[in-house]
Structure 1
């Protein structure tokens, strides 16, 4: 299985502008640039897109682990915080923090934590970053 996304760029690093599109059309020429990446300006940036991918991937993996263990979530909400830092001469993504809250009928705390940790370690996006960024999880069982 392969999925595609593309980026276009015009101009220099600070005065230029770009756009990002995805195969599905969910993003179609979404603007990005220096200001949206480093100065909080309008538009998207690679780090928030990576965060969205990580949150989505982890949440689906957790749902799979729950299903395999005989549970079904009423709700799972995950936020991913991606840290971009200056390292040496350039920048690196150094950490990804996952904050998840879930409501799952009939599950005990130990099973919840075991399944959440398994999802964190085994979702494909976590595996992608495993040797390059510290991935942490704060999992909260609600209700």
Structure 2
């Protein structure tokens, strides 16, 4: 049996005091296998974003635990989790081209330029954005910005995307 990509066990998220704050996520338990694609669906305010932010480490878990690739991460800072996330607001760096935005994490990891170029080209082709790689975020459409942001998340070899 293979190791789960993500295991969430009895997770709660409170905003404010536990006894009188907002209980945004209640006793969430789920297991996602490697290669599985999952969508979190629900009405506004039901805890979807809070859950994703806890997985990525941008929100603290009030109770319970989160494991990524078999390693408990709920107490680790985001940089130590090896989780890649595409944000709703794109979060592209305005002074960088689409190519530079996509390559940013790979360059920070000191991958050879040839590998960086190959990965950027591969993901750009997959997302059909090869023609905008030299453009800046301000000069492309919202849909193109979303695909560039997704490309920046997918390009990393993370344990969880």
TM over 0.5: no
Q: Output the TM-score relative to the length of structure 2.
A: 0.27
Structure with the bigger percentage of strand: 1
Q: Output the TM-score relative to the length of structure 1.
A: 0.29
